[in-house]
């Protein structure tokens, strides 16, 4: 190659010529540097060398000599005098890249050569398309925001910068970091929102990405939060909640412990939560939840409702035997939960839950407030007081404990009770009930569970307890129960009476006594365990009219109730083991034999037997340890699941298990009722089903763990309502009565609610249908009415006369209309009588106005007549009138027309009776005596203002002796002396006495100045 030829020439020159002393070999003074140049741009690779003689400089690219303008004037590469290589423009294409490579500079003279360091020349590029463009980002204020892009391919690698709204983002802000292709903004603000562009830059230039939007929302922020509150029951509570955010957040409320109180909460326009008539079960945490598209915020406030303590389970009086264990229940509620303690009346010792046992260790109080007295002594008799106290108040109740032998308190025993009978209507039924007991029991009879009051004349109770019904009717059919009760308890026996036409009409007689088997002998206890007792007995030699087929065993225990209970039947042998008994409990047993004719009288009562007590103490376990561990077991009830209107599934969880848990006791009751109990004997069970529940009824449910007689603490009480159904029974005792109101006919309908167990929910209203049938049996008259559920009567107005009406009533719950009652006749309205029609006419306003007008016309005419008569009497002034009277008490009083009190009334002139006076007839009484020879005018008429005096004189209303006024006796006379110029006046012109309001007064017919008083001389 040329390079090799040059080396050979230099070698030849070196050996063939003598070098000079001042000559020097080449040396590179300036080495070329790496270059990155844009396409089409000029570029220079520097190279500077020294030597003597001046070395020649050549360039090599990738080992090949570079052709410059010295070899080809058209070349774009120029070798500068200094030795540098100058490119007029960099030539670079996709296929051809002549200028890109690794260059070296070589300087030569005859003494040698010098080679520079390698220098690379690269062509810069920048593609158009970004490998990753930034995307829109939505963040909440305060949160970090990250926008990422990958710039276009380029050489050298492009650098990244960002612009927001065409303004370069300043990364000197400590919140902003640009690293690689990422733009990171910590703690974003609302002002950071905008359109962002990623910029890729190298020596070629800049490339902008497509814009991406950064949206900064604000998460909900509370300006007012709910606060904790403590209120009294039935108060109203407001929880406030105000919030702002972008976008505008929504607000909702929730209760951490369950649903908001149904029907008693309101979310107001300002988003506050209002609770009305708060209850203890409303306690809990109420949370305001605010949410928008970028965030969620919650704020809570607790509600505590103070409720005064209440006794929900009252202890009952108990009668027990010495040595037994008794438990007094005392269920309380309140908020905060009250502290419960017991005290015997007259004692200063207070018994608290989890209290150390007393010296005798016989008294203890459970966490639920139950007082247990073990090994009862006679001196334990007395009243025991349960007291509950809290900051909201206090309450107490007490119960009596009587300690006596069991045999003294045996419930009555029914030797023979009523049998089943089928009889015809009109016959007589006798239902027998032979009892025994001490004290002597009383007998009551019930029909279909309702007490028979005996207000039916067909019903009678005989002295021997037999219940007799004469003249049977089909409505007498039912289940009749004889209830024998005394202070020691009660026992019942039921029989069915069926009345129907096909039966034989006769008197129901009991089975003959000789047909019944004789009572078995006294049962003997042969074996006793914790839950069972084995009995054996001897049969009676008298089997009756048929062979004995089986035996029935009845038991009594005061712990199980105050009545005899059948614990076994269909017993074929004369020995039997009764199971399912309570431990450490005293029982009494009787046995009855059964044959085809019925049951025998009971056997003698067995001796008292106590089941074994396998308590933790008896097993060598510290009962205090058991009670402590049971108290730490926390049972949580879950929301019950409704299976049907009468059944629910109850589940629970146990937070801490204990070896001392034998099972659970589930208590349930209708709200405010008595607690019912269902035992779950498996400690591993976590659910059970409650059946036979009342429909449409709210139940309270709680559960507690137990170990033998020890019991743990109750769970929180849950409320659950069974679904409602339509009432399955009609309203009872529907009665209809006719009522007269003004000029229309009405009926009053009244009723009683259906039986509570058949209401199947809350009765919201009653529907009343009244249907009338016309005389043609084709016309129908309908009057329907709906009344509130608390109303038990209504008035139906506007009934048509002569129409027979029938009334039906039905109760309505939320599930619909229940069974209608049987139609009850409302009675046929008779036609209105003539007197009633006249009365109705008289009460009309038009009639009253007409009568008033007629009276006015008559009064005006009467006034004109009086005026005319007075004018004619003006000439009577020459007459004089004298009156002699005898004050009361001086003369003899008699039945004269002037007798009686006159009152303090003066002589009146121009006075006339009012138009409503009732005048009596004239009395033919002669006021003249034989001692008077003077002329005696007829006495004036007597006038009364009282009704009922038309047929005779009315008695004087005031006692003459007690009246302070002057009384005019029957001896008073009036004498008229004629004037010489006038003729004698007729007797009817004399003055009259009137009586008004029970008092007599004198009324003259002339003005007072025409008369003067004169003596009788």
Gap between the Cα atoms of 964 and 981, Å rounded = 43
Mean pLDDT lowest among 174-188, 342-356, 465-479:
342-356
Residue 780 in contact with residue 800, Cβ under 8 Å? no
**H/E stretch holding 272:** none
Dihedral (Cα; 834, 838, 843, 848), 10-degree rounding: 170
The model's confidence at residue 511, banded by pLDDT at 50, 70 and 90, is: low
What is the CATH T-level fold of the domain 732-839, as seen in this structure? Immunoglobulin-like (2.60.40)
Specify the pLDDT at position 315.
Answer: 83
Specify the pLDDT at position 232.
Answer: 86
| Residue 499: Cβ-neighbour burial (10 angstroms; 0-12, 13-18, 19+) | buried
237 has a pLDDT exceeding 90: yes
Report in angstroms the alpha-carbon separations of 411 from 443, 603, 608, 788.
Answer: 13, 15, 14, 45
Nearest to 216, CA basis, from 147, 298, 162, 169: 147
Question: Is CATH 3.40.190.10 correct for 314-404?
Answer: no
Buried/exposed code over 483-495 (b: 16+ C-beta within 10 A; e: otherwise): bbbbebbbbbbeb
Residue 794 in contact with residue 714, Cβ under 8 Å? no
Pick the CATH number of 2-125 from 2.40.128.50, 1.10.357.10, 2.60.40.10, 3.20.20.70: 2.60.40.10
Specify the pLDDT at position 897.
Answer: 34
More confident residue, 566 or 453: 566
| Residue 50: Cβ-neighbour burial (10 angstroms; 0-12, 13-18, 19+) | middle
Identity of the highest mean pLDDT range in 624-638, 752-766, 879-893: 752-766
1004 has a pLDDT exceeding 60: no
Classify 664 as helix, strand or coil.
Answer: strand
What is the CATH T-level fold of the domain 513-614, as seen in this structure? Immunoglobulin-like (2.60.40)
87 has a pLDDT exceeding 80: yes
What pLDDT, in 10s, does the model give residues 648-658? 999 999 887 77
356 has a pLDDT exceeding 70: no
Region 981-1010: mean pLDDT is: 38
Mean pLDDT value across the chain: 78
Buried/exposed code over 648-683 (b: 16+ C-beta within 10 A; e: otherwise): bebebebeeebebbeebbbbbbeeeeeeeeeebeeb
**Domain residue limits, the chain:** 2-125, 127-217, 225-305, 314-404, 409-510, 513-614, 623-721, 732-839, 879-1017
The model's confidence at residue 100, banded by pLDDT at 50, 70 and 90, is: confident
Same fold, 2-125 and 225-305: yes
User: How many Cβ atoms sit within 10 Å of the Cβ of residue 941?
Assistant: 16
Class of domain 127-217: mainly beta
930 has a pLDDT exceeding 60: no
Counted residue by residue, the chain has a size of 1017
Gap between the Cα atoms of 138 and 141, Å rounded = 10
Gap between the Cα atoms of 361 and 367, Å rounded = 17
48 has a pLDDT exceeding 60: yes
Class of domain 225-305: mainly beta
Indicate the pairing of strand 24-30 with strand 48-52.
antiparallel
CATH code, residues 409-510: 2.60.40.10
Report in angstroms the alpha-carbon separations of 277 from 37, 231, 914.
Answer: 86, 11, 67
Geometric angle at alpha carbon 473, from 470 and 478, rounded to 5°: 95
985 has a pLDDT exceeding 60: no
pLDDT-above-90 percentage for the chain: 23
Region 149-165: mean pLDDT is: 88
More confident residue, 408 or 348: 348
217 has a pLDDT exceeding 50: yes
Sheet with 182-185, side-by-side order of all strands? 145-148, 182-185, 176-179
196 has a pLDDT exceeding 60: yes
Gap between the Cα atoms of 862 and 778, Å rounded = 60
Q: Which residues pair with 807 in a beta bridge?
A: 770, 824
Residue 505 in contact with residue 422, Cβ under 8 Å? no
CA 464 to chain centroid = 51
The model's confidence at residue 764, banded by pLDDT at 50, 70 and 90, is: confident
Nearest to 588, CA basis, from 601, 575, 578: 578
What pLDDT, in 10s, does the model give residues 364-415? 898 888 999 998 998 888 899 999 998 888 888 888 887 876 555 688 888 8
Residue 842 phi, psi dihedral angles, 5° rounding: -60, -30
Region 259-284: mean pLDDT is: 90
Q: Which residues pair with 233 in a beta bridge?
A: none
Task: Find all residues with CB under 8 Å of 742, minimum gap 6, and list them.
Answer: none
DSSP 911-955: ----TT-EEPPPP------TT--S--PPPPPEEE-STT-TTSPPP
Task: Find all residues with CB under 8 Å of 142, minimum gap 6, and list them.
Answer: 187, 188, 219
Specify the pLDDT at position 754.
Answer: 92
591 has a pLDDT exceeding 90: yes
Dihedral (Cα; 78, 81, 83, 88), 10-degree rounding: -20
Region 527-549: mean pLDDT is: 88
Pick the CATH number of 623-721 from 1.10.3720.10, 2.60.40.10, 3.30.420.40, 3.30.2270.10: 2.60.40.10
What pLDDT, in 10s, does the model give residues 831-856? 444 555 576 677 778 888 888 889 98
Structure tokens at 553: 């065993």
The model's confidence at residue 18, banded by pLDDT at 50, 70 and 90, is: low
Gap between the Cα atoms of 478 and 496, Å rounded = 6
Structure tokens at 646: 């009468």
Structure tokens at 529: 């365990």
Residue 198 in contact with residue 222, Cβ under 8 Å? no
């Amino acid at each position: 190659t040329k390079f090799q030829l040059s080396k050979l020439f230099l070698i030849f020159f070196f050996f063939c010529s003598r070098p000079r002393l001042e000559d020097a070999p080449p040396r590179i003074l300036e080495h070329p540097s790496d270059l990155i140049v844009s396409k089409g741009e000029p570029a220079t690779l520097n190279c500077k060398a020294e030597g003597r003689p001046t070395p020649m400089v050549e360039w090599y690219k990738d080992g090949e000599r570079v052709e410059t303008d010295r070899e080809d004037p058209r070349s774009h590469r120029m070798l500068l005098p200094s030795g540098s290589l100058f490119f007029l423009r960099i030539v670079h294409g996709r296929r051809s890249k002549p200028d890109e490579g690794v260059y070296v500079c070589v300087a030569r003279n005859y003494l040698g050569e010098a080679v520079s360091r390698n220098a690379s020349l690269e062509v810069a590029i920048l593609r158009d398309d970004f490998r990753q463009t930034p995307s829109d980002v939505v963040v909440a204020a305060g949160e970090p925001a990250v926008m990422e892009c990958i710039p276009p391919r380029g050489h050298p690698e492009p650098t990244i910068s960002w612009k927001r709204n065409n303004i370069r983002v300043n990364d000197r802000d400590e919140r902003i970091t640009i690293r690689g292709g990422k733009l990171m903004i910590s703690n974003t603000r609302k002002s950071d929102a905008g359109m962002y562009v990623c910029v890729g830059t190298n020596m070629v230039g800049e490339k902008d990405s497509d814009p991406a939007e950064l949206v900064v929302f604000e998460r909900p922020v509370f300006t007012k939060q709910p606060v904790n509150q403590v209120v009294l029951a039935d108060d109203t509570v407001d929880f406030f909640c105000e919030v702002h955010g972008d976008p505008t957040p929504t607000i909702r409320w929730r209760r951490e412990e369950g649903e908001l109180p149904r029907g008693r909460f309101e979310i107001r326009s300002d988003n506050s939560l209002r609770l009305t008539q708060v209850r203890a079960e409303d306690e809990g945490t109420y949370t305001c939840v605010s949410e928008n598209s970028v965030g969620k915020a919650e704020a809570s406030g607790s509600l505590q409702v103070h409720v005064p303590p209440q006794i929900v389970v009252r202890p009952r009086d108990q009668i027990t035997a010495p040595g037994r264990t008794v438990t007094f229940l005392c269920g309380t509620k309140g908020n905060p939960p009250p502290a419960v303690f017991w005290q015997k009346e007259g004692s200063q010792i207070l018994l608290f839950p989890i209290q150390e046992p007393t010296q005798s260790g016989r008294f203890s109080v459970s966490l639920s407030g139950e007082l247990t007295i073990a090994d009862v002594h006679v001196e334990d008799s007395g009243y025991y007081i349960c007291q509950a106290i809290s900051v909201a108040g206090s309450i107490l109740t007490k119960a009596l404990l009587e300690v006596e032998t069991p045999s003294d308190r045996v419930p009555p025993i029914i030797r023979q009770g009523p049998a089943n009978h089928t009889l015809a209507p009109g016959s007589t039924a006798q239902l027998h009930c032979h009892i025994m007991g001490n004290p002597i029991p009383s007998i009551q009879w019930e029909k279909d569970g309702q007490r028979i009051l005996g207000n039916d004349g067909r019903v009678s109770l005989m002295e021997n307890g037999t219940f007799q019904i004469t003249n049977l009717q089909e409505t007498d059919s039912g289940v009749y129960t004889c209830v024998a009760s005394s202070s020691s308890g009660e026992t019942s026996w039921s029989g069915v009476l069926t009345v129907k036409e096909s039966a034989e009409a006769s008197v129901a007689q009991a089975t003959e006594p000789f047909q019944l088997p004789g009572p078995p002998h006294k049962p003997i206890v042969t074996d006793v365990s914790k839950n069972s007792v084995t009995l054996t007995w001897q049969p009676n030699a008298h089997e009756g009219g048929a062979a004995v087929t089986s035996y029935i065993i009845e038991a009594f225990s005061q712990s199980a109730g105050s009545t005899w209970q059948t614990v076994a039947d269909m017993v074929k042998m004369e020995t039997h083991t009764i199971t399912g008994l309570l431990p450490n409990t005293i029982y009494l047993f009787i046995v009855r034999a059964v044959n085809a004719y019925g049951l025998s009288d009971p056997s003698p009562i067995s001796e008292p037997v106590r089941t074994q007590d396998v308590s933790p103490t008896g097993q060598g376990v510290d009962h205090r340890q058991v009670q402590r561990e049971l108290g730490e077991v926390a049972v949580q009830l879950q929301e019950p699941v409704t299976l049907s209107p009468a059944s629910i599934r109850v589940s629970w969880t146990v937070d801490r298990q204990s070896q001392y848990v034998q099972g659970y006791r589930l208590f349930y009751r209708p709200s405010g009722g008595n607690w019912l109990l269902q035992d779950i004997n498996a400690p591993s069970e976590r659910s059970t089903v409650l059946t036979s529940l009342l429909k449409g009824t709210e139940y309270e449910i709680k559960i507690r763990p137990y170990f033998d007689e020890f019991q743990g603490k109750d769970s929180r009480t849950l409320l659950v309502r069974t679904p409602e159904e339509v009432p399955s029974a009609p309203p009872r005792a529907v009665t209809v009565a006719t009522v007269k109101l003004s000029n229309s006919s009405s009926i009053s309908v009244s009723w009683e609610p259906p039986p509570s167990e058949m209401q199947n929910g809350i009765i919201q209203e009653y529907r009343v249908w009244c249907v009338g049938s016309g005389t043609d049996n084709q016309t129908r008259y309908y009057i329907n009415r709906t009344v509130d559920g608390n109303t038990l009567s209504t008035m139906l107005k506007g009934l048509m006369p002569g129409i027979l009406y029938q009334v039906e009533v039905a109760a309505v719950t939320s599930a619909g209309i229940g069974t209608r009652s049987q139609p009850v006749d409302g009675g046929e309205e008779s036609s209105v009588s003539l007197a009633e029609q006249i009365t109705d006419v008289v009460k009309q306003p038009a009639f009253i106005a007409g009568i008033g007008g007629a009276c006015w016309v008559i009064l005006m005419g009467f006034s004109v007549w009086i005026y005319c008569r007075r004018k004619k009497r003006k000439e009577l002034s020459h007459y004089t009138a004298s009156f002699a009277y005898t004050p009361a008490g001086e003369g003899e009083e008699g039945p004269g027309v002037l007798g009686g009190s006159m009152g303090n009334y003066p002589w009146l002139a121009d006075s006339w009776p009012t138009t409503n006076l009732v005048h009596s007839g004239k009395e033919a009484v002669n006021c003249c005596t034989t001692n008077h020879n003077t002329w005696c005018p007829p006495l004036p008429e007597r006038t009364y203002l009282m009704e009922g005096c038309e047929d005779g004189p009315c008695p004087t209303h005031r006692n003459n002796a007690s009246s302070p006024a002057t009384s005019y006796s029957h001896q008073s006379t009036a004498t008229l002396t004629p004037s010489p110029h006038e003729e004698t006046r007729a007797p009817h012109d004399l003055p009259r006495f009137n009586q008004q309001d029970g008092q007599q007064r004198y009324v003259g017919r002339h003005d007072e100045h025409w008369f003067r008083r004169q003596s009788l001389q």
